[in-house]
Protein backbone atom coordinates (compact mmCIF):
# COMPACT_ATOMS: atom_id res chain seq x y z
CA UNK A 1 0.00 0.00 0.00
CA UNK A 2 2.93 2.30 0.57
CA UNK A 3 3.76 2.11 -3.14
CA UNK A 4 0.19 3.04 -4.05
CA UNK A 5 0.27 6.07 -1.73
CA UNK A 6 3.56 7.15 -3.28
CA UNK A 7 2.12 6.78 -6.80
CA UNK A 8 -0.91 8.85 -5.78
CA UNK A 9 1.34 11.60 -4.40
CA UNK A 10 3.35 11.61 -7.61
CA UNK A 11 0.16 11.75 -9.67
CA UNK A 12 -1.07 14.75 -7.66
CA UNK A 13 2.28 16.49 -8.10
CA UNK A 14 2.15 15.79 -11.84
CA UNK A 15 -1.38 17.18 -12.05
CA UNK A 16 -0.30 20.40 -10.35
CA UNK A 17 2.73 20.68 -12.63
CA UNK A 18 0.55 20.10 -15.72
CA UNK A 19 -1.81 22.90 -14.67
CA UNK A 20 1.20 25.18 -14.28
CA UNK A 21 2.49 24.20 -17.74
CA UNK A 22 -0.92 24.79 -19.34
CA UNK A 23 -0.96 28.31 -17.91
CA UNK A 24 2.56 28.87 -19.21
CA UNK A 25 1.53 27.63 -22.66
CA UNK A 26 -1.42 30.03 -22.75
CA UNK A 27 0.96 32.93 -22.05
CA UNK A 28 3.71 31.84 -24.45
CA UNK A 29 4.13 33.98 -27.56
CA UNK A 30 6.05 33.18 -30.74
CA UNK A 31 6.99 35.46 -33.64
CA UNK A 32 7.00 34.25 -37.22
CA UNK A 33 8.91 36.03 -39.96
CA UNK A 34 8.79 35.79 -43.76
CA UNK A 35 10.27 37.71 -46.67
CA UNK A 36 13.44 38.63 -44.74
CA UNK A 37 11.39 40.39 -42.09
CA UNK A 38 8.93 42.15 -44.39
CA UNK A 39 6.02 40.22 -42.88
CA UNK A 40 5.74 39.30 -39.20
CA UNK A 41 3.03 37.57 -37.19
CA UNK A 42 2.76 36.87 -33.47
CA UNK A 43 0.90 33.85 -32.08
CA UNK A 44 -0.06 33.13 -28.49
CA UNK A 45 -0.93 29.93 -26.69
CA UNK A 46 -2.59 27.40 -28.88
CA UNK A 47 -2.28 29.39 -32.09
CA UNK A 48 -4.22 32.58 -31.36
CA UNK A 49 -3.09 35.25 -33.85
CA UNK A 50 -2.08 38.30 -31.79
CA UNK A 51 -0.63 40.64 -34.40
CA UNK A 52 0.33 41.02 -38.06
CA UNK A 53 2.92 43.47 -39.37
CA UNK A 54 3.47 44.14 -43.08
CA UNK A 55 6.30 46.37 -44.26
CA UNK A 56 5.00 49.39 -46.18
CA UNK A 57 7.25 48.55 -49.13
CA UNK A 58 5.00 45.56 -49.91
CA UNK A 59 1.77 47.53 -50.10
CA UNK A 60 2.18 48.28 -53.81
CA UNK A 61 3.06 44.69 -54.72
CA UNK A 62 0.84 41.95 -55.97
CA UNK A 63 -1.61 40.88 -53.21
CA UNK A 64 -0.75 37.21 -53.81
CA UNK A 65 2.83 37.88 -52.67
CA UNK A 66 1.59 39.38 -49.41
CA UNK A 67 -0.82 36.47 -48.91
CA UNK A 68 1.98 33.94 -49.42
CA UNK A 69 4.28 35.81 -47.04
CA UNK A 70 1.54 35.93 -44.39
CA UNK A 71 1.07 32.18 -44.70
CA UNK A 72 4.82 31.62 -44.42
CA UNK A 73 5.13 33.89 -41.37
CA UNK A 74 2.18 32.18 -39.68
CA UNK A 75 3.72 28.78 -40.36
CA UNK A 76 7.05 29.95 -38.91
CA UNK A 77 5.37 31.26 -35.75
CA UNK A 78 3.33 28.07 -35.37
CA UNK A 79 6.47 25.92 -35.55
CA UNK A 80 8.17 28.06 -32.91
CA UNK A 81 5.12 27.95 -30.66
CA UNK A 82 4.82 24.18 -31.03
CA UNK A 83 8.50 23.81 -30.10
CA UNK A 84 8.07 26.03 -27.04
CA UNK A 85 5.05 23.99 -25.93
CA UNK A 86 6.93 20.72 -26.47
CA UNK A 87 9.86 22.01 -24.42
CA UNK A 88 7.51 23.09 -21.63
CA UNK A 89 5.86 19.66 -21.54
CA UNK A 90 9.21 17.86 -21.46
CA UNK A 91 10.32 20.07 -18.61
CA UNK A 92 7.10 19.47 -16.68
CA UNK A 93 7.16 15.69 -16.99
CA UNK A 94 10.92 15.15 -16.62
CA UNK A 95 10.76 13.94 -13.03
CA UNK A 96 7.87 11.54 -13.58
CA UNK A 97 9.44 9.16 -16.08
CA UNK A 98 9.67 6.29 -13.61
CA UNK A 99 6.31 6.84 -11.97
CA UNK A 100 4.53 4.05 -13.83
CA UNK A 101 6.68 1.83 -16.04
CA UNK A 102 5.28 1.66 -19.55
CA UNK A 103 2.89 4.55 -18.94
CA UNK A 104 2.93 7.20 -21.63
CA UNK A 105 1.28 10.57 -21.48
CA UNK A 106 -1.16 11.38 -24.30
CA UNK A 107 0.92 14.34 -25.55
| Tens digits of residue pLDDT in 37-69 | 999 988 888 778 888 888 888 887 677 888 888
| Tens digits of residue pLDDT in 13-41 | 888 888 888 888 888 888 999 999 999 98
pTM over 0.85: no
Cα 35 to Cα 53, 55, 102, distances in angstroms: 12, 10, 45
Going by C-alpha positions, the residue among 38, 68, 72, 73 that lies closest to residue 56 is 38
Amino acid sequence: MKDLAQIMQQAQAMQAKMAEVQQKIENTEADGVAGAGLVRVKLRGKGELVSVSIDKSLMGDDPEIIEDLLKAAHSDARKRLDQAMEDAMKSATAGFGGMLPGFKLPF
